[in-house]
Chains A and B, each alone.
Chain A
Amino acid sequence: MRYILAPNLRLRPVPELDSCVVLAPGEGGGPRLLRLNAHAWLLLELCRAGMMATALREAYREAVVPPLDAAAAAESLDQGLALLLRQGLLLEKNPEEAMP
């Protein structure tokens, strides 16, 4: 399993405020503007790199600031993924689907 960014997103990093603003297509309505905190932004960037779920877990634990122990990092990652999936910013993809 891996996660990929939903199509037609525009990411606007705002490092001054430790956040990232995302322009996303609306579902039926107009486009949506969402402000992500640093954790959600990090997750989105890691998913943009296209890594598999296991590698993503490791990369997130190494990159998250402040550092978290393995259990806390896993919990934070799962919460973040669930949120981004719910918001339609990430899509789940099976490995075979990911092959060119």
Chain B
Amino acid sequence: MSTPPTLPLRNPVLERPLKVTLSFTASCNLDCRHCYADCSRVPRAEEMPAADWMRLIDRLEEDGVIGLYIEGGEPLHRADFLDVLRHAAGRFHVQLRSNATLVTPEMARILHEDCRIATLLVDLHGPDAAVHDHATRAPGSFERTLGGIRAARAAGIETQMLVIMTRLNVDHLQGCVDLAARLGLETIGILRPYPIGRMRRAWDEASLPLEVMMRALDALRLPPGMRLMQSWHPRDGNCCWQTAAVDPRGHSIGCAYLREYVDLGDLREVAFLDTWNAPLHRLLRSGEVEASCGDCAASQGSHGGCRATAYAFHGRWTAPDPFDLPLNQGVDLRVLPEHALHPRPQSAPPSGS
């Protein structure tokens, strides 16, 4: 259980970020009932065109960014994505998050040889078609995703599985671990659900009590050599300190999970580093929090846990993260407060904070 933090309540300070999440598009070929990006089939007109993404990537390289975490929506669903990915090839450590349904053997070869991605992170919602296809609302998507994973591995791409834990799959997590092992994957990430996009609107059917999530994690049995990534206690990091994020419109938003709470400006109008140094972004990165879990601070080197779920449930940027058991303070994670049901992006911390 938690011990008082011995570290000062400050996160490490980076003058410039090392990695940036690019939420390339809010379009997708699936129709997931809990989609964070609230995806449409066709990219919205407000999405940044490829040429602007390329200019931004050049800017990020100049500003010292060395890692890109690219997600969607489904990036491969947008016709101009490979142009952008090729533009970043060899200049960044690129991790691509995808549903993998469009990863054919030829696409896998392109991703590996031309785009030189480091890792493919594949979202799966369950260990079989019944659970997965119910979540994606796309019959056949489970088999196509497995085909994409196999193609990526055959092409030599380091491939990992990601599973967002919800009420729909909490009883199937061991099946996901076993499936990952059968596919030859060495890493599986079990991710917390975030109350954003369609997941927010379906929170009643998707959310779980914290105790249930913790029991589900504790019950997992990993085969030898498999690594589990999870962000609950004792590994609840405040990873804001080292990262930034850009939404499909080209707005700087701090973290992809803050997309409905933070808007630091349009990067076609303001400099990226100006948004990095904006008071709200500095506050999010600072580690100045109302409470910190000693175990998580020790394992993650940061304080207070995830700022997105902290803000979602408390409405304060400095609040403790209720997904961390010692910091939960009786918060029922199945009940979203009013401000989280109707979020409004903020550009600055409230005066006086």
Which A residues have a C-beta under 8 Å from some C-beta of B?
A: 8, 10, 12, 14, 16-17, 21, 23, 25-26, 28-33
Contacts and interface: CB of A to CB of B under 8 A. Distances in A.
Interface stretch (B9-17, B35-43, B186-194, B290-298): B9-17
26 contacts: A8-B90, A10-B91, A12-B18, A12-B64, A12-B66, A14-B18, A16-B12, A16-B14, A16-B15, A17-B14, A21-B66, A23-B66, A23-B91, A23-B92, A23-B93, A26-B118, A30-B94, A30-B112, A30-B116, A30-B117, A30-B118, A30-B158, A31-B94, A32-B118, A33-B66, A33-B67
* Binding site secondary structure of chain A: mixed
Nearest first, the 8 A-B pairs at minimum CB distance are: A30-B118, A33-B93, A12-B66, A31-B118, A31-B93, A23-B66, A21-B66, A23-B93
A30 B66 contact: no
A21 B64 CA distance: 10
Nearest to B89: A31
A11 to B, nearest CB: 9
Interface residues of B, number: 21
B20 interface: no
Contacts of B91: 10, 23
Contacts of B156: 28-29
A17 B66 contact: no
A37 B274 CA distance: 29
Which of A8, A17, A26, A31 is most buried by chain B, counting CB atoms within 10 A of its CB? Answer: A31
A10 B67 CA distance: 11
A49 to B, nearest CB: 22
Contacts of A14: 14, 18
B12 A33 contact: no
B13 to A, nearest CB: 6
Interface in B146-188: 156-158
Contacts of B15: 16
Contacts of B14: 14, 16-17
B119 interface: yes
Given A21-B18, A29-B118, 7 more contacts: A12-B64, A16-B14, A16-B15, A25-B90, A30-B94, A30-B117, A32-B93
Contacts of A28: 156
B197 to A, nearest CB: 29
A30 B18 contact: no
